[in-house]
Amino acid sequence: MSTRADGSPFDPYAVLGVGPSATADDIRHAYRTLARRFHPDADGHDARAAARFAQATEAYDLLIDDERRRTYDLRRAASSGPRASRVAPGPTGHTAVRGPAADRPRRPTGPRRPPPRASEVRDGQDEFRLILFLAKVVAVVVIVITVAALLLAFRPPPKCGPDTPPNAPCSPVAEAS
């Protein structure tokens, strides 16, 4: 753990909100996020934001250079041991580095985009599904018509009675003797 000129502890991992095992891309992403948030041009009248921006820049300069980072990590391990925890909280107030209390650094996602609509995901499958649906409907209609025609064709004719017209198809009634 290093200290600043005023004697306060300075932990670049805590300032950027990343862990000691963070990759260069994670460090770069964390720095750019903080730089956008605390840059003096974005919030020119806030002295605390300018101080945070200076801290983030100092931490980024230390951690992005492999040789300086290795030297810092060796000094940190020698003074605090391999399971050192953060002394100064990062921008999110998170102080745990390892163990069950530690969380992975959360990256701000910016404005949330709604999940893609189902129509955007299909990419041209709508036409195929419509044609498939219509083919199924036509097949069902053809089957229903065929079954109805077969039932009508093989239906037994009605019984002949005294009021049946002479040319009507009917089956004679067997007279009981």
At 82 the pLDDT is 47
Residue 17 located in a structural domain: yes
Mean per-residue pLDDT over the chain, rounded: 77
Q: Which of 45, 80, 115 is the last residue of a domain?
A: 80
User: Is the same domain home to 13 and 71?
Assistant: yes
Domain of 10, CATH number, reads 1.10.287.110
Task: Tell me, yes or no, whether 76 and 128 share the same domain.
Answer: no
Whether the pLDDT of residue 46 is over 80: the answer is no
**Residue 24 covered by a domain:** yes
Question: pLDDT exceeding 90 applies to what percent of the chain?
Answer: 17
Could you tell me if residue 116 is inside a domain? no
H-helix segments, 98-167? 118-122, 125-153
- Evaluate whether 38 touches 49 at the Cβ level (below 8 Å): yes
Higher per-residue pLDDT: 167 or 43: 167
Specify whether the CB–CB gap between 12 and 84 falls below 8 A.
no
Structure tokens at 66: 């492999």
pLDDT score, position 92: 55
Assess if residue 88 is contained within a domain: no
Mean pLDDT of all residues in 89-93: 54
State whether 68 and 129 are in the same domain: no
73 and 129 in a single domain? The answer is no
* Mean pLDDT computed over 38-67: 84
Domain that holds residue 25: 2-80
- Judge if 75 and 128 occupy the same domain: no
Domain assignment present for residue 91? The answer is: no
pLDDT at 169: 79
Span 35-58, mean pLDDT? 82
Q: Which of 13-17, 80-84, 122-126 has the lowest mean pLDDT?
A: 80-84
The answer to whether residues 137 and 67 belong to one domain is: no
Q: Is 160 inside a domain boundary?
A: no
Residue 136 has pLDDT above 90, yes or no: yes
Question: What pLDDT does 134 receive?
Answer: 96
- Flag whether 50 is in a domain: yes
- Average pLDDT rounded to a whole number, residues 95-124: 59
Instruction: Say how many domains are in the chain.
Output: 2
User: Based on the domain organization, do 7 and 76 belong to the same domain?
Assistant: yes
Q: Does residue 166 form part of some domain?
A: no
Residues 8, 65, single domain; the answer is yes
* Helix (DSSP H) and strand (DSSP E) numbers for the chain: 6, 2
Query: What pLDDT score does 77 carry?
Result: 76
